[in-house]
Structure 1
Amino acid sequence: MSTPQPLSTIMPPALSDADQDALTDLHIRGTPPNTLRAYERDLIYITAWKQAAFDAPLSWPESETVALRFILDHSRSLENVNPADPALTVAEALIAQGLRKTLACPAPSTLDRRIASWRAFHRMKNLASPFDAPLLRQTRAKARRAAAKPKAPKSANPITREVLEAVLATCDHSLRGIRDRAVLMLGWASGGRRRSEITGLMRQDVDLKDYATDGIIWIDLVGTKTTAKGKTPRLVLKGRAAQALAFWIEMGRIDAGPLFRPITRNDNPLDRRLSPDGIYQIVQKRMDMAGFPKGFATPHGLRSGFLTQAALDGTPIQAAMRLSLHRSLAQAQQYYDDVEITENPATDLLG
């Protein structure tokens, strides 16, 4: 009776060319387009990095030595290193190719994403990833800890109800004003939607069947950062927010296609969808028109403002999360914790 091999020495079965093609095709069809584009960019970068560092193409599976060098090269600043440092030479070559911007230490999230892509390429080939080795896992953890910085808020200030009202007051009765009012109200009142979620909405994602009788609009998000495609619960829009959205649909004659669109100088909607940067421009323009200082808030202020206002109003956090679609109670709780203790509704329980 033969002695069983340790799990660490068992290699995955080799795939035939046909099976490899089928596996790759399945990964492509089962991966979101944005993720595929990120994979493509990362593969270009990783390939160029190895060529510059080792004068060799990528290997499958890649060696732990190469993977370790990749982590070390991207876990420190190269701005004041010895001119003979090999990592500096490689970085300058990548900058010359337009694949790297500076010699500063890349953000830990950027390195994490490239490593995740590299691991995904190994999975597509049914190969073990070198990044799963204990030494590399420990090195990556140390590098992440060394580069850790206090997390800056995505918006300098939350767009609370008071701020939102001041911003909405700048929206006139032009088609642009009607659109901007609908964007801001939907983005805030539906739970604090992200820019991509707002711009991704199509006319068919908005259900007006109960609007005439109950003043309610149902919204179907295809997917969000925290929910899978097709698994996102329906959201509801009521009151002034529902009225603003219905008025935009009517006045913009949005019968099909993208819900929110660019507006021409002649105040006519285009057929294409508004971009996420368009949402950023709307928020910045309206904040400026309302008299707020430059950089006071970003579109994420709609999300943080919704949760902050929910805390100020004494709304149970679980109820707010049903609209914000936060998966983590701890993450949503941060907005509640940011409310000044003197503004906490619980301080008035006795009256």
Structure 2
Amino acid sequence: MTQVSTPPFAPPALSVQDIEALNDLYRRGTPENTIRAYERDLVYITAWKQLRFDEPLVWPERHECALRFVLDHSRDLSEAKDGAREVAEALIAQRLRRALTCPAPSTLNRRIASWQAFHRMKNLDSPFDAPLLKQARAKARRAAARPAKPKSRNPITRPILEQLLATCRGTIRDCRDRAILMLGWASGGRRRSEIAALMVEDISLKDFAKTGIVWISLVETKTTARGSTPRLVLKGRAAQALVHWLEISGIKDGPLFRPISKADRLLKRRMTPDAIYQIVKRRLRLAGLPEDFASPHGIRSGFLTQAALDGAPIQAAMRLSLHRSVAQAQRYYDDVDIAENPATDLLG
């Protein structure tokens, strides 16, 4: 009996039209934040390889190049005297790298994940899937392990939020910022990207006149897929602030929150996530607090911290925050519990 050998798998030959359609599918099916991260990482990786090897990227990438990338980004180069430091200094000069110190493990992991994604897009095997590379990355993570730093210096709990809201008085900008802060906090601690992405069509006022409830439909979040995010509810003052914003702004469709010009003119485009960051900084300053007192993530951590302080079950808080991991949400509860634990007062 003749043995028939199976030919090796080869990527399908795609026409120009197929490639264009596939690229369009990737763009429409990938979150904007992820696309921006891919773009930044591709620029960095391309510059790094050109400086390190004097070569452009190749597909699939060579294993030795991938291994060198891991090694160069898994140690402090401040005292190094080899080519890795020269490359790092050149990247710093190009504003692609911040310092010679070892990058955070999360930064290295993200760049490698982007590199792997580029290979998948081209239907190619990634060198980072090789056993040696996997082991090197595992050792790098262990060697660079460090205590996790909070994303916000302080949580924006209810008393802090009230201080920020007190700075929002009567202008259209104040009205918008009040609605952003209250929606972001009361709907479960929304991320700034989620707030900036909201459209008027995502807001339902059908029950507001009768019950005072506003329904929010997020297209997707960091922890939920497109189309599978449960509806969120907004009640009380937060719902009223949002409805007031819609009435004052006259917005009927399109982006829910928009930039406002220096002449107090409402613009048509949507706000960027960085604009939410600037709003939080400005309100902190107006409230007499340091600008670095908290970041926009303080809205998220503040909601969960306040839920713990008020004795809300963690499962109830997670239904709004949309945390997938109980362990991750539990950290905010643990921070409160340890401070309120009677055992901490044994010495008096």
Confirm or deny a common fold (TM above 0.5).
Answer: yes
Match of 2:137 among 140, 144, 159: 140
Distance, in Å, in 2 between the alignment partners of 1:162 and 1:30 is 40
Distance, in Å, in 1 between the alignment partners of 2:173 and 2:27 is 39
More displaced 10-residue stretch of structure 1: 110-119 or 299-308:
110-119
2:288 is the alignment partner of 1:284: no
CA offsets, 1:1-58, max 9 Å, x none?
79999xxxx9543433549848954545543344334333333332332232223333
**1:113-132 mapped onto 2 (5 Å cutoff):** 113-132=110-129
Q: 1:2 to 1:61 in 2, by over 3 A?
A: farther
Match of 2:106 among 97, 102, 109: 109
Letter in 1 for 2:76: S
Q: 1:96 to 1:188 in 2, by over 3 A?
A: closer
In structure 1, runs of 5+ residues without a counterpart are 346-351
Distance, in Å, in 2 between the alignment partners of 1:97 and 1:173 is 44
**1:68-79 mapped onto 2 (5 Å cutoff):** 68-79=67-78
**Aligned residue-pair number:** 340
In structure 2, runs of 5+ residues without a counterpart are 343-348
User: Which residue of structure 2 aligns with residue 35 of structure 1?
Assistant: 34
Letter in 2 for 1:44: V
Match of 2:228 among 198, 211, 231: 231
Match of 1:158 among 155, 160, 182: 155
What is the Cα-based RMSD across aligned positions, in Å? Answer: 2.7
Distance, in Å, in 1 between the alignment partners of 2:289 and 2:51 is 48
Letter in 2 for 1:332: A
2:194 is the alignment partner of 1:197: yes
Distance, in Å, in 2 between the alignment partners of 1:99 and 1:278 is 22
Q: Per-residue deviation at 1:167?
A: 1.9
Distance, in Å, in 2 between the alignment partners of 1:248 and 1:319 is 28
Q: 1:123 to 1:92 in 2, by over 3 A?
A: same
Q: 1:57 to 1:11 in 2, by over 3 A?
A: farther
Q: 1:141 to 1:266 in 2, by over 3 A?
A: same
Distance, in Å, in 2 between the alignment partners of 1:140 and 1:2 is 44
User: Which residue of structure 1 aligns with residue 80 of structure 2?
Assistant: 81
Letter in 2 for 1:315: A
Letter in 2 for 1:239: G
Match of 1:181 among 170, 173, 178: 178
Answer whether contact 1:308 1:336 (CA < 8 A) is retained: yes
Answer whether contact 1:312 1:344 (CA < 8 A) is retained: no
**Identity of matched residues, %:** 67
**1:1-351 mapped onto 2 (5 Å cutoff):** 12-18=9-15, 21=19, 25=23, 27-82=26-81, 85-341=82-338, 343=340
Distance, in Å, in 2 between the alignment partners of 1:93 and 1:194 is 34
Q: 1:127 to 1:262 in 2, by over 3 A?
A: closer
CA offsets, 1:83-121, max 9 Å, x none?
xx1212333343454433433322222221221122122
Letter in 2 for 1:60: W
Q: Per-residue deviation at 1:192?
A: 0.5
Q: 1:288 to 1:38 in 2, by over 3 A?
A: closer
Q: What's the TM-score once normalised by structure 1's chain length?
A: 0.88
